[in-house]
Amino acid sequence: MSQKQSQGGSQSQSQSQTTGQQEGRETKRLTINHRTRYAYRFPVQLQPHRLVLRPREGHDLKVLEHQLTISPAAECVWSRDIFGNSITRAHFPEEKVEELVIESHLVIERSVVARDPSVKMVQAENFEIAYDLMEQAVVNAYLKPVYPEETEAMQNWFAQLPHLNDFAGFHDYLEALCSEVHRRIDYRRRDEKGVQSPLTTINLGSGSCRDMATLMMETLRMQGLAARFASGYLDCQATRAARGSTHAWTEAYLPELGWVGYDPTAGRACGLQHVVIGTSHHPRGVMPISGKFFGPSNAFSGLSVAVQFA
């Protein structure tokens, strides 16, 4: 029998400290150790696993060191998916095992570059945003709701939120919306797989970080704002104290400003403490670890995850 297994994550909020400044940019060097262990009651045959554990590199993030250790030993094949994420496909030997351990050791340098003063904050016109025609085909994937059947039912939720016309531009509005989602939805760590639908999160008044990120993403798409799901790490006091798990937030695409992150779990825009590993138009697109095994239906006995920062 084939069984699926996956690892998501949730994490509470706090404040991270900047460790340095250079050439007009804030910088922070960080070591991240992420260990995941799957345990089985009976020997099972592991099928290929998909790993999203290496950060997206760019002008604001540099990977100085990355070591991936897998037991049992696996053959790893690297690629980039359609969203530009670094993906590892781990292929396992045929022998059966009673545990799978995946450890990712990262040393990164995170930077926040000062905003270009020549770029004006995006202004609202008739409550709509105009995207470049050259980008429209790609933008459309980030405008389509994941839960279209709930859009009508979410109109009451939307009516109670801050309105764009009350703000000078989209960035101010998005910060206010992020704060409002944080105020209305209580953070609740969930170890169950997958995400809650937006309407479920609204009705419960609570959810994990991935549930809140999905809710904000769908709320933005209802207004014609391109939004995507981001998964990664949040370096904060709660994570360091509890050896927590991965984190999730929302990114909105604004003309000239590009993708800008907003964390409804924390109620503010993202900063140096957020380390993005993967982004996708769908919450399931960037699960840190996903795969299958062959074995009895009751073979799986437990999952443990630990994320440590230094």
Strands (DSSP E) contained in the chain are 2-7, 20-22, 25-54, 61-71, 75-80, 86-91, 97-113, 186-187, 206-207, 227-234, 247-254, 258-263, 268-269, 274-280, 289-294, 300-309
Taking the CA atoms of residue 12, residue 13, residue 15 and residue 21 in that order, the dihedral angle to the nearest 10 degrees is 90
Question: For 166-225, what is each residue's pLDDT tens digit?
Answer: 887 788 889 999 999 999 999 998 877 789 999 999 999 999 999 999 999 999 999 889
263 CB burial (10 A radius; 0-12, 13-18, 19+): buried
Tokens 């262990």 found at: 37
What is the pLDDT at residue 11?
A: 39
DSSP 141: G
What is the pLDDT at residue 203?
A: 95
What is the pLDDT at residue 236?
A: 80
What is the pLDDT at residue 122?
A: 54
Pick out the chain residues at pLDDT < 70. Answer: 1-25, 113-128, 238-244
Question: For 143-160, what is each residue's pLDDT tens digit?
Answer: 999 999 999 999 889 888
**pTM of the complete model beyond 0.95:** no
Question: Which domains are present in the chain?
Answer: 2-112+287-309 (no CATH), 114-286 (3.10.620.30)
**257 torsion bin: left (phi>0), alpha (psi -120 to 50), beta (else):** alpha
Question: For 271-281, what is each residue's pLDDT tens digit?
Answer: 888 999 999 99
- Separation CA 13–CA 3 (nearest Å): 33
Tokens 């391109």 found at: 226
